[in-house]
Amino acid sequence: MARKRNQDICIIGTGRFGSAVIGQLAKMNCSLLLVDSDEQVLNEYKDVAQKIVVADATNIKALKALNITEMDTVVVAVSDNIEIVAALLELDVKNLIVRAKSKTHARVLKQIGANVIIQPEYEAGVRTALIAANPNFMRFSQNLQEIGDNFVMGTTSLNSQFYEGKPIKEIKFRDLGVSVVLIKRGARSILPSGLTTLERGDLLTLIGKVEDVTVMLAELNK
């Protein structure tokens, strides 16, 4: 089987939002091209990125020189970005993820052709509301990883006697809105089937809607 190559991703802007994106992509072993007008800030990432470039991302010639169209994905992490996005769209960059600072900004970006628009402040607000309104979310928020569209992945240890010794198919996790995707049992990692029997101390990883996952994590952890 051919080895899957790393994704080539360009991030334009290395502020707080861009920094968070860079950190996560680096953990995923993506090949990173970082572009910013601030050389001092860029130098902080020289050991993380495959290439760092000081450039004006509104300049089409500069973008062409970077072979920007060869990137698998371009992330525009700066907030004042209309000119940058317009330049990238003119170059026919296909997979473009753009930060919006407001709903109005997002609407303008959509009108000029941006296909994936992220509103980090809005999404952070939604997450805060979920934490405030859902005691289970507050309890397990540090164990959750957001996937998108209100889906999360969460992990907890099985402490409940009710589920101990039962096969997964008997518990009917799917009817509860979640799927068990991984079981860590001691040093072993198990891809579970319906016949897999749960044991006390198993570390279970679930995927589902945030409200379903947090409820199930609480049940398993009782």
Split the chain (222 residues) into runs of 10 and give each run's mean pLDDT: 65 92 86 94 93 96 95 92 96 91 91 86 70 69 72 90 94 93 93 94 92 90 84
Q: Which amino acid is at 207?
A: I
At residue 1, the pLDDT reads 38
- Which residues share a beta bridge with 155? 205
Q: HSE of 185 in the Cβ direction (CA atoms, 13 Å)?
A: 10
Output the pLDDT for position 166. Answer: 94
Residue type, 101: K
Residue of 27, 5, 7 lying closest to 72 (CA atoms): 7
> Of 150, 170, 174, nearest to 162 (Cα)?
170
pLDDT computed for residue 27 by the predictor: 83
Tokens standing for residue 217: 């994590």
User: If 0-12 CB within 10 Å is exposed, 13-18 middle and 19+ buried, where does residue 96 land?
Assistant: buried
State the Cα–Cα distance between residues 209 and 217, nearest whole angstrom.
Answer: 12
Integer Cα distance of 144 and 210 in angstroms: 9
Beta bridge partners of 206: 154, 180
Q: 161 Cβ partners below 8 Å, 6+ apart?
A: 200
Q: What domains lie within the chain, and their CATH numbers?
A: 8-118 (3.40.50.720), 134-220 (3.30.70.1450)
pTM above 0.85, yes or no: no
